[in-house]
Amino acid sequence: MREYLKGDGPTQLTLRQFGGTLEGMTLTVPGDGHLRAGEEAVLFLRRGAGVVYLTAMAQSVYEVVATPQGPMVHRDLHDVEFAAPNERGALVASEAPEEPDQALRRFTELVRSVARRGQ
Protein backbone atom coordinates (compact mmCIF):
# COMPACT_ATOMS: atom_id res chain seq x y z
CA MET A 1 0.00 0.00 0.00
CA ARG A 2 1.59 3.22 -1.13
CA GLU A 3 -1.13 5.82 -0.54
CA TYR A 4 -4.84 6.41 -0.17
CA LEU A 5 -6.57 8.76 -2.60
CA LYS A 6 -9.47 9.12 -0.17
CA GLY A 7 -9.38 8.50 3.55
CA ASP A 8 -6.67 6.62 5.35
CA GLY A 9 -5.95 3.24 6.81
CA PRO A 10 -3.30 0.60 7.39
CA THR A 11 -0.28 0.18 5.14
CA GLN A 12 -1.00 -3.55 4.74
CA LEU A 13 -4.36 -4.73 3.42
CA THR A 14 -5.92 -8.14 2.90
CA LEU A 15 -7.89 -8.15 -0.35
CA ARG A 16 -10.57 -10.82 -0.57
CA GLN A 17 -11.77 -11.90 -4.02
CA PHE A 18 -14.17 -14.55 -5.27
CA GLY A 19 -12.82 -17.94 -6.32
CA GLY A 20 -9.61 -19.71 -5.45
CA THR A 21 -8.00 -23.14 -5.42
CA LEU A 22 -8.95 -25.99 -3.12
CA GLU A 23 -7.76 -29.59 -3.38
CA GLY A 24 -6.40 -29.01 -6.89
CA MET A 25 -9.60 -27.46 -8.26
CA THR A 26 -9.59 -23.80 -9.24
CA LEU A 27 -12.63 -21.57 -9.50
CA THR A 28 -12.32 -18.25 -11.28
CA VAL A 29 -15.12 -15.72 -11.52
CA PRO A 30 -15.51 -14.02 -14.91
CA GLY A 31 -15.45 -10.29 -14.50
CA ASP A 32 -13.39 -10.25 -11.31
CA GLY A 33 -10.28 -8.09 -11.20
CA HIS A 34 -6.97 -9.69 -12.16
CA LEU A 35 -4.06 -8.76 -9.90
CA ARG A 36 -0.49 -10.00 -10.12
CA ALA A 37 2.17 -10.07 -7.42
CA GLY A 38 4.44 -7.04 -7.65
CA GLU A 39 2.10 -5.16 -9.99
CA GLU A 40 1.38 -1.51 -9.25
CA ALA A 41 -2.30 -0.65 -9.52
CA VAL A 42 -4.92 1.88 -8.49
CA LEU A 43 -7.75 0.01 -6.77
CA PHE A 44 -11.21 1.12 -5.75
CA LEU A 45 -11.96 -0.72 -2.51
CA ARG A 46 -14.60 -1.06 0.16
CA ARG A 47 -13.85 -2.15 3.70
CA GLY A 48 -15.09 -5.31 5.34
CA ALA A 49 -14.32 -6.93 8.69
CA GLY A 50 -10.51 -7.09 8.57
CA VAL A 51 -10.43 -7.23 4.76
CA VAL A 52 -11.09 -5.07 1.71
CA TYR A 53 -13.02 -5.92 -1.46
CA LEU A 54 -12.97 -4.50 -4.99
CA THR A 55 -15.99 -2.20 -5.27
CA ALA A 56 -16.92 -3.32 -8.80
CA MET A 57 -14.71 -6.32 -9.60
CA ALA A 58 -12.58 -5.72 -12.75
CA GLN A 59 -13.95 -2.22 -13.15
CA SER A 60 -12.17 -1.36 -9.86
CA VAL A 61 -8.65 -2.22 -11.08
CA TYR A 62 -6.42 0.20 -13.02
CA GLU A 63 -3.00 -1.24 -13.79
CA VAL A 64 -0.14 1.25 -13.71
CA VAL A 65 2.01 0.87 -16.83
CA ALA A 66 5.40 2.51 -17.44
CA THR A 67 5.57 4.30 -20.81
CA PRO A 68 8.01 6.76 -22.41
CA GLN A 69 5.44 9.48 -21.59
CA GLY A 70 5.45 8.48 -17.91
CA PRO A 71 3.24 6.19 -15.84
CA MET A 72 -0.22 5.55 -17.31
CA VAL A 73 -3.26 3.71 -15.96
CA HIS A 74 -4.98 1.01 -17.99
CA ARG A 75 -8.14 -0.96 -17.22
CA ASP A 76 -8.55 -4.46 -18.66
CA LEU A 77 -12.24 -5.20 -19.21
CA HIS A 78 -11.87 -8.09 -21.69
CA ASP A 79 -13.40 -10.55 -19.21
CA VAL A 80 -16.42 -8.35 -18.37
CA GLU A 81 -19.77 -8.63 -20.12
CA PHE A 82 -21.79 -5.49 -20.69
CA ALA A 83 -25.39 -4.97 -21.74
CA ALA A 84 -27.02 -2.07 -23.54
CA PRO A 85 -30.57 -1.51 -24.74
CA ASN A 86 -31.29 -2.18 -28.41
CA GLU A 87 -33.68 -0.10 -30.54
CA ARG A 88 -36.70 -1.80 -28.87
CA GLY A 89 -35.35 -1.26 -25.36
CA ALA A 90 -34.37 -4.88 -24.74
CA LEU A 91 -30.98 -5.45 -23.12
CA VAL A 92 -28.47 -7.16 -25.38
CA ALA A 93 -24.81 -8.08 -24.87
CA SER A 94 -22.39 -5.39 -25.96
CA GLU A 95 -18.63 -5.00 -26.19
CA ALA A 96 -16.61 -3.44 -23.39
CA PRO A 97 -16.21 0.28 -24.01
CA GLU A 98 -12.85 1.38 -25.40
CA GLU A 99 -10.96 3.38 -22.81
CA PRO A 100 -7.78 5.22 -23.65
CA ASP A 101 -4.91 4.91 -21.19
CA GLN A 102 -4.62 7.95 -18.93
CA ALA A 103 -1.66 9.61 -17.25
CA LEU A 104 -1.42 8.34 -13.66
CA ARG A 105 -0.96 11.83 -12.23
CA ARG A 106 -4.02 13.24 -14.00
CA PHE A 107 -6.10 10.18 -13.09
CA THR A 108 -5.26 10.39 -9.38
CA GLU A 109 -5.92 14.16 -9.37
CA LEU A 110 -9.36 13.52 -10.89
CA VAL A 111 -10.15 10.77 -8.37
CA ARG A 112 -9.14 13.03 -5.46
CA SER A 113 -11.27 15.86 -6.85
CA VAL A 114 -14.33 13.64 -7.21
CA ALA A 115 -13.76 12.15 -3.72
CA ARG A 116 -13.58 15.64 -2.15
CA ARG A 117 -16.91 16.61 -3.71
CA GLY A 118 -18.52 13.43 -2.36
CA GLN A 119 -17.54 14.07 1.27
- Residue-averaged pLDDT of the chain: 92
Predicted confidence (pLDDT) per residue in 43-75, tens digit: 999 999 999 999 999 999 999 999 999 999 999
Alpha helices in the chain (DSSP H): 104-117
pTM score above 0.75: yes
Residue 59 phi, psi (nearest 5): -70, -10
Q: Report the DSSP beta bridge partners of residue 73.
A: 64, 102
Q: Can you give the pLDDT at residue 57?
A: 94
| 38 within 8 A of 49, measured Cβ to Cβ | no
